[in-house]
Amino acid sequence: MKRHTDMRVLVLCLAPLDRSPGQRFRIEQWAPGLRSLGVRLEFEPFTSPDLDSILYQPQRYGKKTTLIVKALLRRAKHLLRVREFDLVYVQRETALLGPALFERWIRLKRVPYIFDFDDAIFLPNASDANRAFAFLKFPGKTATACMLAAHVMAGNDFLAEYASRYNHHVTVVPTTIDTDKYKPRQPLQESPRPQLVWTGSPTTAPYLESLCGALVRLRKHCDFRLRVIGAPRISLPGIDVETVPWQPETEASDLRGAWAGLMPVPDDSWGRGKCGCKALQYMGVGVPVVCSPVGMNAQLVRDGVNGFLAASEDEWVMKLTLLINSAELRRRLGQEGRNTVETWYCAKVQVPRVYNVLASATKCMSDGATEPRKSS
């Protein structure tokens, strides 16, 4: 793609860099490619390293409150500079708590902004560690953020349908994989003992725990170990579990060699907002996936072609058994999964599309295209 005039973009994200999957597998991953096209990104996280280190620890509300107030003041300082930029990029929300005041400020200053989201954040949701702050989450601000944006980027069709109620300019841009970092081990090598793998966080660990019944049944006739990355306090009685801390340096290599990657997702509105990041990680390193047929998973995985879909406990047991019993099936599905990522779900493919969205958004304010769309 031809490089155009340099574009300065202020990125308002929530977490420090290289911490949050949503921004890591979206705007952070796209940054090098956008830079080559003349887009200069300046990242301003809301959460400080101190706040990030305790955010999902239980209690500690006094310390959290102090650090959140400091973060809000820091964010206000960031927004005093918005006129220095051609565009603002908002990843999920400008602040962890409160209504869409900062989004309204950007609009007031007549600087166009992109709103990018990859979860159903318009639904009430709070981690167990932060239930005391749930009343300050204001999930309804997502509608306002969509309405005031010059353009909305949504991670899947379900989220795009929601955004389209409030904005005419909506583009689906999937979460992507860095295929230079996430690649199969060559030559292909698997763990000597059957190994299943799941990667996630303490907040998504209950999804994996919902598979306990299927895994216990599977263990009766298949000897396997389950590697759990990023959730040290998982509860799976009767299962041989190896817990591994999440580290950005080893996140790809920790997946390699597994016989199957797991992505159970609940069939509800929150689950339908998921963008398949776990499945894409497994597929990127050539590990065959077994996923719930919910939301993006049903679009990403073609059952029996580039992975398996499992809608019931019986199906989870059956399809994991098939993979454990057949090295050829694992090889074929793993290769097809990798091909799927390379074709559409890699950063190199999506960066030009992201650039076009950014470029079009910078023109919206001058031609009046950012007039809010009223909800029906």
Which regions of the chain carry the CATH code 3.40.50.2000? 7-176+347-367, 195-343
CA distances to 11, 22, 202, 285, 297 from 267, in Å: 32, 20, 19, 26, 11
pLDDT tens sequence across 23-60: 999 999 999 999 999 999 999 999 999 988 887 777 78
pLDDT above 90 covers what percent of the chain? Answer: 80
Cis, peptide link before residue 293, omega less than 30° from 0 = no
Q: Can you give the length of the chain in residues?
A: 376
Between CA 324 and CA 260 the distance in angstroms is: 8
Q: What is the pTM of this model?
A: 0.91
Q: Could you report the per-residue pLDDT of 2-26, keeping only the tens digit for each?
A: 455 689 999 999 999 998 888 999 9
Give the model's pLDDT for residue 14.
95
The residues near 369 (Cβ < 8 Å, ≥ 6 apart) are: 150, 169, 363
CA distance 184 to 215: 26
More confident residue, 268 or 132: 268
Could you read off the pLDDT of 328-359 as tens digits, one per residue?
Answer: 999 999 999 999 999 999 999 999 999 999 99
The per-residue pLDDT of the chain, averaged, comes to 91
Q: What are the backbone dihedrals phi and psi of residue 116, each rounded to the nearest 5 degrees, phi first?
A: -120, 125
**What pairs with residue 91 in β-bridges?**
116
Task: pLDDT band for 128, please (50, 70, 90 cuts).
Answer: low
CATH number of 7-176+347-367: 3.40.50.2000
Torsion of CA 305, 307, 313, 317, to 10 degrees: 90
Cα–Cα nearest to 135, from 166, 97, 180, 190: 97
CATH of domain 195-343: 3.40.50.2000
